[in-house]
Amino acid sequence: MASGFCESCSRLLKEFALHLRIICREFQQKVRDLFRELSQCSCLRMTAERSFLRRRTTTTQELLSLRILDDKETHLLNQENLQALNRLATSEAIHLQMTAAMYYLHLSHHLKSPLPDAFTEPVMALLLSTDLDVQKTTSLSLVNLLIKNHVCKEVVIEMGMLVPLLELFQSGDATAQCHSCACVAMLASSESNRDAVMVEGIIPLLALAKSYDPQVQRNAAWALLYLTQSDWSTRILCQAGAIPVLVLLLQSSDSEVQFCSCTALCNIAAIEEHHPKLRSIGGQYLLKSLLTLMSSSVQKNSAQACRCLQTLSNNVLIQDQMMELDCVLPLKALLKTYTPVWTESAIKLLSALSAHPQNNDVLVSEGLLDEIGKLLHDHRSSSAIIAHSCNIITNLCSSCMGQQAVMESRCLSGLLLALLSPTLADKTLVHVTSCLHHLMTWNQLQTKISTTITSEHVSGLMKMSGQMENSQLSYNCAAIISKLEMSGNVQALPSDRK
């Protein structure tokens, strides 16, 4: 439902909420520091010790109860266990806290339904433990529960668990950082939680993204990716200096880190206001990194690098830089792999480049039309490849050099082959017939097509010209037939023509 506010008011309200969260965070930290100092007082410790001794018999029974681990949810989640978990989690004895933490780890592996909200309350106490091992075990349990969607992400935020999770970032322990960062990434995957993560977590996440531990770096990149899935959070992220960090992650030795950072940059590039910051990366470092990643042996990374470059190519200045870096050669290499993921990604980018006339001479001289002709023969059933091939041929034949290259390549025979394909949809045939019609506006190409086309092609054009469902396809076919008749080279139609 619409909020009723204009875009400017909505932005101001979000900024107000952001500053308010920061103030509340600072106040909360001051309160925590105060109580931490109070807890160090000897009189409070003596009171706590006497209280622990009184409960010692009770907790021993609770330990015996929780050690009998049963995989049945009715036994795992009964009221008796909940009471025991609350006592153990709030105990000052580390071994008792660890018992509760281990119980949650067991739950996270065997639970097959959502964890009741009441059972999430002891988790907060365990995350606030002074023992790092308890915190690591608890955060691992929380990761498992979040991944399986067995705990509500919004409830986790409402209970304030984000704060101790972010504090674990500064623990210096790679395992603790890995688990807590994975939790934050899962929380950021929920749109309603991103504001909270943005307020508290941007700077810590950017710091962890530079970690030397591959798993920590992977989880940080994963979280940053989620934060680029809305315009507002992307803007805040870029203001915090995320772009140089994400570009640096493209050079990671971990393929998942490469994919997350590349996808995040693709999301950022989709918003034109961020292009100046993307261009400001010195020495064309971003484009060089993407071109290198485009040659990766990991298909999804190579394809994603192509998509990112395609998005960036909408900016003329960036496209000029891409051409200066000789991006055509690695793109042609991807076309020759004949792997659909690579081929489609590469041809989409080449189609975008060919849409700008200043690139056409270079594309023609690099022999791109020869590769397009081969693709049309080898990928007869791929609508995406055929459609983009038609766009490239149409764009490149605007010059005499391009027309000659079309004549010398297998492009014309490939287009005529596609015209007879029984598997192509009308939408793709519109691209094929539009391309043929455009080619026939040039004299030498019209002559070449007229002498190459067969009665079977003409018969097919006649049938499609009579279609009423797709007016563009009908018009294209009629226009081609008209050009053929003007040339006087139409071969005789089959005897059953009506």
**Residues constituting the chain:** 498
**CATH number for position 433:** 1.25.10.10
169 by Cβ neighbours in 10 Å (0-12 / 13-18 / 19+) ranks as buried
**Is a pLDDT exceeding 90 seen at residue 27?**
no
Cβ pair 269, 227 in contact under 8 A: no
Whether 392 is covered by a domain: the verdict is yes
Whether 113 is covered by a domain: the verdict is no
Reported as a pLDDT band with limits 50, 70 and 90, residue 26 is low
> Which tokens sit at 37?
């100092």
Cβ pair 420, 383 in contact under 8 A: no
List the domain range (segments joined by +) for residue 408: 358-485
Whether 475 is covered by a domain: the verdict is yes
Whether 236 is covered by a domain: the verdict is no
The neighbour count for residue 114, using CB atoms within 10 Å, is: 14
Cβ pair 254, 266 in contact under 8 A: no
Determine the residue type at 60. T
Reported as a pLDDT band with limits 50, 70 and 90, residue 342 is confident
Task: State how far Cα 230 lies from the chain centre.
Answer: 12
Reported as a pLDDT band with limits 50, 70 and 90, residue 317 is confident
Distance, CA of 364 to CA of 401 (rounded, Å): 7
Q: What per-residue confidence (pLDDT) applies to 493? A: 46
In the predicted model, what is the mean pLDDT of the chain?
85
**Is a pLDDT exceeding 60 seen at residue 55?**
no
Whether 96 is covered by a domain: the verdict is no
Reported as a pLDDT band with limits 50, 70 and 90, residue 33 is low
**Regarding predicted confidence, which is higher, 113 or 338?**
113
Cβ pair 179, 168 in contact under 8 A: yes
**Is a pLDDT exceeding 90 seen at residue 373?**
yes
Whether 267 is covered by a domain: the verdict is no
> Which tokens sit at 204?
């810590």
pLDDT (tens digit per residue) in 281-310: 877 899 999 999 998 989 899 999 999 999
CA distances from 332 to 6, 210, 326, 336 (A): 47, 34, 11, 6
For helices 299-312 and 340-354, give the axis angle rounded to 10 degrees. Answer: 10
Whose structure tokens read 């190579």? Answer: 302
Whether 432 is covered by a domain: the verdict is yes
**What average pLDDT score do residues 268-275 get?**
92
**What average pLDDT score do residues 402-419 get?**
94
Task: State how far Cα 210 lies from the chain centre.
Answer: 20
pLDDT (tens digit per residue) in 81-98: 888 899 999 999 999 999
Q: What per-residue confidence (pLDDT) applies to 468? A: 77
Domain total for the chain?
A: 1
Whether 308 is covered by a domain: the verdict is no
